[in-house]
A and B are shown apart, each in its own frame.
Chain A
């Protein structure tokens, strides 16, 4: 089974600054998707950004961008101009391209934004 590792249980950032959350994964597949999900105290998992493994270009969504290193099996999330509303748990997740049925999630990183 695929494994996803998030080695930073907690991170903090000053408002308006930039923070990077780390994620590594292990797979023998060549085609897959990687995701970052945000889980605020409301508990609903909200999609932040998605990366297709066959695409070399890193995905961006407004203030959120990723650094996808396929050979290193690394998938970090950069949040620019951090806002108070960015405070939440962030989960990195893997999904197979072929089977595509389930997500494999990391253990999460709790992000605090300091005013």
Chain B
């Protein structure tokens, strides 16, 4: 079974620029998550999708972050404009359902550096 694919693997941008990350979940996984992992911290949930609908985006800084999941498969996370404090690893994960007993599969993340 193919894993969760993410690209790019690394990205360096200047502050105030925009950036987009892409995630392709495991085939058939209805639930998709984006997490932000700042250096020295554990990952924190940004947004959760169930198929192509948003379930939880309460921790997404909506003034600069946006995410979409068209057709309930691939997802894109965008930051515009980026700030220095957005430097982090952005992890995508997917699961077959929303319940706690459903396992997550994580991708390898995109490391963003804002200079």
B-contacting residues of A (Cβ < 8 Å)? 4, 32-33, 42-47, 91, 93, 95-103, 105-108
Contacts and interface: CB of A to CB of B under 8 A. Distances in A.
Interface stretch (B17-25, B42-50, B65-73, B75-83): B42-50
Interface residues of B, number: 27
Chain B residues touching A, majority SS: loop
B98 interface: yes
Given A4-B42, A103-B43, A45 B106 contact: yes
A100 B91 contact: no
Given A93-B42, A105-B44, A107-B42, A100 B100 contact: yes
Interface of B: 3, 33, 35, 40-45, 48, 55-56, 89, 91, 93, 98-104, 106-109, 111
Contacts of B93: 45
A44 B55 contact: no
A102 B56 contact: yes
Contacts of A95: 100
A45 B42 CA distance: 11
